[in-house]
Chains A and B, each alone.
Chain A
Amino acid sequence: MQSKKEFCLCDKADDIRKILVEMIGRLGTGHIGGALSIVDVLTVLYFGEMNIDPGNPQKPDRDRLVVSKGHAGPALYATLAEKGFFPMEEIKTLNQPGTNLPSHCDMNKTPGIDMTAGSLGQGLSAAVGMALASKLDKIDNYIYAIIGDGESQEGQIYEALMYAGNKQLNNLIIFQDNNKMQIDGMTAEINSVEPFDKKGEAFNLFTQRVNGHNHDAIKQAIKRAKNQKKQASLIILDTIKGKGFDVAEAKGVGCHNMSYDEQAWRSYCNKWEA
């Protein structure tokens, strides 16, 4: 029997990574590591799962995403540009004076951004608020949130998980980007947040753990999450910080906010063309 081919938006994810690596590369420095680790979940969401309209970013019944680890904004900008929310040319304005693409996500500047973030630990609560508002307004949509594993050291994350669990927000799907690194070192050594799956279960969330770079695994996990009738979902994505860009991956913990030269990003972006 022929095995079913795994779902993969690999080319799309590669394109987004190229945009992202070039975007930060042209600037010379930026939060490349934790941006690259969430590219695959963003790809699955924006090119597979989410009900959104680039021509109408404020569509009332749209699905929403809160990137609570707001420093990963450039990954979202690359994805939104690829999806057509704004012209690809604008990518070059990242962090330039007067830009609509600031280092951290800003809902009032960038078309397609649903919540401002930057001070870690807050975005998940905002996503909980959106899920409650959808219930109140009887809007049949999903609210997605992406939190970091380092971010999960913030106490407010647990206030939000507790409330999401108790409110049975089955329209809320939380991803934890478990790239295992934070600015000062390995998360496990600084102040471990594991076992995070047990924490999710303890807060009465439907909790799964999957390979955060496997599109099929992410898609299946979302499908299972959407089948939950009375539980909010937590999907722990095991990821690699700097995923795909060898220069960043090799830097390990140092890739959180790093500099790299033009040769590095050009060489990465050209490798598909050889």
Chain B
Amino acid sequence: MLDNREMRQVYCDKLLEMAKNNANIIIFEADLMKGSGTERFFKEYPDRAFDVGVAEANMVTVAAGMSTYGKIPFCTTFAPFATRRCYDQIFISVAYAQRNVKITGTDPGITAEINGGTHMPFEDMGIMRNIPTMVCVEPTDEAMLDSLMPQIAAHNGPVYIRLFRKKAEKIYETGEKFDLFKAKSIKKGKDCTIVCSGIMVSKAIAAEQELLKQGYDVGILNVATWKPLDKQAILESAKETGCLVTAENHSIINGLGSAVAELLCEVSPVPLKRVGVRDIFGEVGKMDYLEKKLQISAADIIDAVKNAIEMKNGKAL
């Protein structure tokens, strides 16, 4: 079942709600206000909304300059342009300069659909998580985004929000509370735990249900914030189920799977299989085509879980 509201609608609703009580909330766009869903903010607060045109580097650096006055800018555009296109500006003028600027990248991974490979970032969280102090979060659905937005605004430092724009699969009930820095267990299991975020959560749930029919008891841990990673929750899952699968709408290089692997092999190695895009570019297509082509479907998660369990049981793959 889908959410009632599109994620971009929730995003703008929360921005408007926060702006009412906090005069420092301002927004930036780079010619995508309609796509980002922030048009209503431009109408309601024309003095606090800035469309710089097609100039992402200028957008984030102007925002950094405004943040020196205590403003809290939210800069929104398609994820590849919000990250890759202005990486050095985010690195130096935002993060290195300790500026309180929020960057929102929309249409992550396969959700870019028919905009194709040029607009389909599988590396955005990877490059952003490589920036010291950057918080990297991928909200799952309406309820989670609603709960996290005020925490993101209140966090004094740069945050990258990886945002699916349309109606997400409804995972949580309206009003559910989330902690920006804590993973959320959806189900505890015995055989394996699937660690996932964003659109992969519903695929993980579908995989878990199919695996249950086949006799596997699989847990699901929703890790919306990839950085800083909730190490405790992941290590607990590893301990409980003895193996993990990560599922991400992102490259397996420098993504959620990498973050989990880095943690496990330094602290508590257990078998880990990563479901994610395997170092290839995106292409045009609908999500159901792309998830199969890029091997990030529920079926791929099922295979990975079985493989992880076999590894745990000492079978060579």
* Contact code string A103-139 (vs B, CB < 8 Å = 1, else 0): 0001110000011101100100111111011101100
Query: Known interface pairs A134-B69, A136-B48, A163-B55. Does A116 touch B93 (Cβ–Cβ under 8 Å)?
Result: yes
- The range of chain A's interface size is 20 to 34
Q: Are the C-beta atoms of A116 and B92 separated by less than 8 Å?
A: yes
Query: Known interface pairs A118-B92, A122-B89. Does A129 touch B55 (Cβ–Cβ under 8 Å)?
Result: no
In the complex, A274 Cα to B89 Cα: how many Å? Answer: 49
Across-interface contacts of B277 in A (CB, < 8 A): none
Total interface residues on B, using CB and 8 Å?
27
Query: Is there a chain A Cβ closer than 8 Å to B44's Cβ?
Result: no
In the complex, A87 Cα to B93 Cα: how many Å? Answer: 27
The residue on B at minimum CB distance from A60 is: B69
In the complex, A108 Cα to B63 Cα: how many Å? Answer: 17
Query: Is there a chain A Cβ closer than 8 Å to B97's Cβ?
Result: yes
Across-interface contacts of A156 in B (CB, < 8 A): 57-58, 61, 89
Query: Is there a chain B Cβ closer than 8 Å to A35's Cβ?
Result: no
Q: Are the C-beta atoms of A107 and B97 separated by less than 8 Å?
A: yes
Query: Is there a chain A Cβ closer than 8 Å to B289's Cβ?
Result: no
B54 CB to nearest chain A CB (Å)? 9
Across-interface contacts of B64 in A (CB, < 8 A): 125-126, 129
Across-interface contacts of A133 in B (CB, < 8 A): 65-66, 68-69, 71
Query: Is there a chain B Cβ closer than 8 Å to A159's Cβ?
Result: yes
* Contact code string B74-95 (vs A, CB < 8 Å = 1, else 0): 0000000000000011011100
Query: Is there a chain B Cβ closer than 8 Å to A76's Cβ?
Result: no
Across-interface contacts of A106 in B (CB, < 8 A): 97
- Give A125-171 interface residues, CB cut-off 8 Å to B: 125-130, 132-134, 136-137, 155-156, 159-160, 162-163
A interface residue numbers (CB < 8 A to B) = 64, 66, 106-108, 114-116, 118-119, 122, 125-130, 132-134, 136-137, 155-156, 159-160, 162-163
State the 4 A-B residue pairs at the shortest beta-carbon distance, nearest first.
Answer: A129-B65, A125-B61, A126-B65, A116-B97
